Amino acid sequence: MSHADIQLQENETKGRYIYRADDGTEAYMTFSKVGESMIIIDHTEVPDAFRGQKIGLKLVERGVEDARAAGRKILPLCPFAAAQFRRHPEWGDVLSRAKRKDP
């Protein structure tokens, strides 16, 4: 599987990266846009059928690559994505240092 196998669907405020297997099974990562300069990774969903294939990691990597190319920062609120950022300090250039503000 390559990053080319991951599709990006987005509108003005939200988006998602999707990996779809030949049988139609989907793994995805959703995000929200904060202006033009930041995205917030909300959720990553990887079905059991994909376990052990690093599909979730590939979804986050694609988001990192796209953010880097667009000059955006990422705030990983999704626990899986946050864990991946901790494991990959080389992504620090796109990691937002913003703190979450609870209402």
The domain spanning residue 55 has which CATH number?
Answer: 3.40.630.30
Q: Is residue 74 part of a domain?
A: yes
pLDDT at 31: 98
Q: What pLDDT, on a 0 to 100 scale, did the predictor assign at position 88?
A: 97
User: Is 101 within a domain?
Assistant: no
Report angle CA 78, 17, 27 to the nearest 5 degrees: 75
- Distance from chain centroid for Cα 72: 13
Residue 72, domain extent: 3-90
In a domain, 31, yes or no: yes
Would residue 78 count as lying in a domain? yes
Q: How far apart are CA 32 and CA 39, in angstroms?
A: 6
Count CA atoms within 13 Å of residue 80 on its CB side. Answer: 17
Number of domains the chain contains: 1
| 78 burial level (CB within 10 Å; 0-12, 13-18, 19+) | buried
Would you say residue 20 lies in a domain? Answer: yes
Q: Mean pLDDT in each 10-residue stretch from start to end of the chain (103 residues)?
A: 81 96 94 94 96 95 96 96 96 82 47
**What is the per-residue pLDDT for 97?**
78
